């Protein structure tokens, strides 16, 4: 598998979101967040900042999903990444 251009193959990370007080947020509360967390599986050939296994936050409305080797991945563009941990 090889991502081309500024395309990035990621695996979504499911987060357990809590407040500072320790309260766990509901699914409805989590849906209000604009960004999702993911792990870079394969950065594209023209991505200059991202490396394999980087943890990123990206726009949840971005990209599409596909199945490769019986695993589900999300395909996004480099411009959809807002934070790299």
Q: What is the pTM of this model?
A: 0.81
pLDDT digits (tens, 9 = 90+) for 49-62: 999 999 999 999 99
Domains in the chain (CATH in brackets) are 7-84 (2.30.33.40)
Could you tell me the pLDDT band of residue 7, with boundaries at 50, 70 and 90? very high
Residues 38/84, Cβ–Cβ less than 8 Å: no
Question: Is residue 18 pLDDT above 70, yes or no?
Answer: no
């Amino acid at each position: 598998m090889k991502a081309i251009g500024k395309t990035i193959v990621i695996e979504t990370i499911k987060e357990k979101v809590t407040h500072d007080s320790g309260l766990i947020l509901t699914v409805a509360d989590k849906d209000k967040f604009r960004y999702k967390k993911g792990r870079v599986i394969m950065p594209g050939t023209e991505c200059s900042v991202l490396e394999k296994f980087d943890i990123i936050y990206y726009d949840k409305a971005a990209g599409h999903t596909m199945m490769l080797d019986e695993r589900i991945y999300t395909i996004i563009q480099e411009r959809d990444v807002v934070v790299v941990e």
